[in-house]
Amino acid sequence: MPTGLKALLLVVASALCWLGACRLAGVREPWDAEAYWRLWVPASLALSAVAGWFWRKPGWPAGVLITFGQLPVLWIADGESGGLWVAGVLILGVLALPAAAVSALAARLRRGTRR
């Protein structure tokens, strides 16, 4: 599968997951959920590991795309004129770091098991 298509599918799937998290929690934005740090962030890290395993080399984009899958959800909730749009992008950039590390590690582990 071409990398661009793989990236698009991962962002769409991630956005749907984050939207589902919002619906389940009854909030407009994922990080407004009471269980965001306790449930949704660990779940996204686990999903990043799985995606990194299948993404292969280098692996880290999978975690970044999963984290930034929250961006369409923010756009849906706040629209283009949302006052915290820039802050949201910056926060997602920071949150993407551990997800990128987890997905990169999973990709590396997969390469190690295939030698």
- Which pTM was predicted? 0.86
DSSP assignment of 27-40, as one string?
-SSGGGSTTIIIII
Model confidence over 45-97: pLDDT tens digits? 999 999 999 987 789 999 999 999 998 888 887 766 566 778 888 999 999 99
> Does pLDDT of 115 surpass 80?
no
Model confidence over 30-59: pLDDT tens digits? 888 899 999 999 999 999 999 999 987 789
Side-chain-facing half-sphere of 102: CA atoms under 13 Å: 22
